[in-house]
Amino acid sequence: MSTQRAPESTLSVQRGNYTSSLPGPLLFVAFRTLTVPIQYLILTRSTTLLPLKSLTLSQTLLLAMPSYIAFKHITWSLLLMRERMTLPFAFFGGISDLAFECLTSYIYTLHPINPTYSPSLLIPGTILNIIGISTELISEIQRYKFKSDPRNKGKIYTGGLWGIIRNVNYACNILFAFGYASAAGGVIYGVMYSGIYVMNFVGNAIPGIEAYMKGKYGNQWEAVEKKVKWRLCPGIY
* Residue pLDDT, tens place only, 207-221: 999 999 999 999 999
pLDDT of residue 178: 98
pLDDT of residue 24: 87
pLDDT of residue 54: 82
* 3-class secondary structure, 230: strand
Residue 8 pLDDT grade (very low, low, confident, very high; cuts 50, 70, 90): low
pLDDT of residue 1: 40
Write down the H helix ranges in the chain: 23-44, 57-75, 87-109, 122-148, 168-185, 187-200, 206-217, 219-227
pLDDT of residue 47: 74
Radius of gyration over every alpha carbon of the chain, rounded to an integer in angstroms: 19
Contact 178, 193 (CB under 8 A): yes
Contact 121, 192 (CB under 8 A): no
Q: What is the pLDDT of residues 69-102, one digit of tens each?
A: 999 999 999 999 888 888 898 999 999 999 999 9
pLDDT of residue 11: 57
* 3-class secondary structure, 84: strand
Q: What is the pLDDT of residues 186-200, one digit of tens each?
A: 999 999 999 999 999
- In order of 21, 36, 127, 158, 207, the CA distances from 220 in angstroms are 30, 42, 37, 11, 17
Q: Does the pLDDT of residue 12 top 80, yes or no?
A: no
Q: What is the pLDDT of residues 17-63, one digit of tens each?
A: 677 778 889 999 999 999 999 999 999 988 777 677 788 999 999 99
The Cβ of residue 89 has, within 10 Å, a number of other Cβ atoms equal to: 21
Beta bridge partners of 14: 84
The answer to whether the pTM exceeds 0.85 is: yes
Q: Does the pLDDT of residue 147 top 60, yes or no?
A: yes
Q: How many residues does this entry show for the chain?
A: 237
* Residues 233, 73: Cα–Cα separation, whole Å: 22
pLDDT of residue 13: 66
Question: For all residues of the chain together, what is the average pLDDT?
Answer: 91
pLDDT of residue 81: 87
